[in-house]
Amino acid sequence: MPGTELFGDEERKEVMDVLNTGVLFRYNHDAQRQGHWKAKDFEAAISKFTGAKHALAVSSGSTAVSTMLAACGIGYGDHVIVPPFTFVATIEAVLWAGAIPVFAEIDETLCLSAEGIRNAITPNTKAVLLVHMCGASADLDGIMAVCKERNILLIEDTAQALGATYKGKHLGLHGKMGSFSFDFFKINTCGEGGVVITDDPELIRSAEYLSDHGHTHVGDNRGMEPHPIMGTNFRIGEINAAIGLAQARKLPYILEQQRRHKAIIQERLAKIPGLAFRKQCDDAGDSATFFHLLLPDEASARGAVKAMGEAGLGVAYWYDNMYHYIKQWDHVKDMRMPFRTVAQELGLPQDLHTLRFPKSDAVMSRLISFNIRVTWTEAELDALLKKMEWVVRKAMEGVTA
Ligand SMILES: *Cc1c(COP(=O)(O)O)cnc(C)c1O
């Protein structure tokens, strides 16, 4: 959670600008706001940082995904290919769109694989909602080739990978649109917030209208603006945007520190025979928010997780996590919503209760992840690695014995 680690005076200063004028709303009130346009400045900062031609800030990473799907024309009954390993928000956004999630396999990149996508395509497939999990890129060359060949839209849920690149280009710019989350647990936080990016001026215009009841934001009389389309309220507030702005300025430092720490971890742990790591599609482009170990099998992974817990090392074993892997998503499999969804009405092409993910399970059951902190001292990192090396070596002995 690098953003929260560095929360400080810079964020307070931006927030005070807003509190001093009292203009909490991102549009209009030009005179009263004394030149402070935090949402606009936040968008400009993300645009500049990622190299995106356009950026739109919204109320969350979840509403950012909904905004992208809607702007890209995803709706009633469209099949959208999604990964079984993601934060559940990805799937929820597809359902809220009136579209139908179709699950495909991931591989050791921790993201959808080109092969998995190919195997999940149906005649109704309209888009792939690609999640760049845990801060690094999927196999974009392979995936873009499948999307192109089968005439499917690529949309990137980049909630977890702000700052990461693939072949020099920021994630979120390889498909039609990309979205970021600024919730409390992401690389940058503004409390609650999200940003949508794209190079397409039509799509960003649709996204802007959708996020604010069809308002065009032309002129200074909100009540008299024309409404080209309907939308909803996915707006970000000025206070959240102010925090996001201060956080965005810290991104270069955050990435530099994380990447430095990752290199140290990598060098140390690579010395353990038989231990594998996440497959990187662009190692230098990894935002290095997480470090990922792939143990030889489920038993050794579970053994290591237990020992790490006992040694006071905070790690994630996503295979058992309630919100990130389909294995625990009973509420999704049952389509538990207080209303009847389009997906239920039209039917999913997959039976989620019996659907199996042998390839994904083979990766997830062996995967152990931990956060790379920005604020580690060298001594802290060294102490952590000493414990980790000991525990992992021990778990690996169990395999060979
Ligand atoms: C966090 C996250 C979201 C949702 O973002 P919020 O800001 O929490 O709404 C969507 N997709 C993925 C992959 C995420 O990790």
CA distances from 309 to 154, 216, 304, 328 (A): 39, 52, 8, 21
Over 70: is that where the pLDDT of 401 sits?
Answer: no
**Catalytic sites, residue numbers:** 186
DSSP string, 272-309: STT-EEPPPSSGGG---SEEEEE-SSHHHHHHHHHHHH
Contact 129, 81 (CB under 8 A): yes
Q: What is the DSSP letter of 236?
A: P
Residues in CB range of 140: below 8 A, 6 or more apart: 166, 167, 174, 281
Q: Where are the beta strands (DSSP E) in 104-151?
A: 125-131
> For position 322, what pLDDT does the model report?
84
| Domains present along the chain, CATH in parentheses | 2-250 (3.40.640.10), 252-400 (3.90.1150.10)
pTM: 0.97
Nearest residue CA, atom 7 of ligand 1?
Answer: 61
Pocket test for ligand 1, best of 94, 160, 182 (most atoms within 8 A of CB): 160
3-state secondary structure of 34: coil
Pocket of ligand 1 (CB under 6 A): 60-62, 65, 86-87, 89-90, 131, 157, 159-160, 181, 183, 194
Q: For residue range 21-52, what is the model confidence (pLDDT) as tens digits?
A: 999 999 999 999 999 999 999 999 999 999 99
Q: Is 401 exposed, middle or buried (0-12, 13-18, 19+ CB in 10 A)?
A: exposed
> For position 214, what pLDDT does the model report?
97
> For position 364, what pLDDT does the model report?
98
Beta bridge partners of 100: 79
Average pLDDT score over residue span 331-360: 96
Q: Which atom of ligand 1 is nearest to the CA of 63?
A: 9
Pocket test for ligand 1, best of 96, 158, 183, 329 (most atoms within 8 A of CB): 183
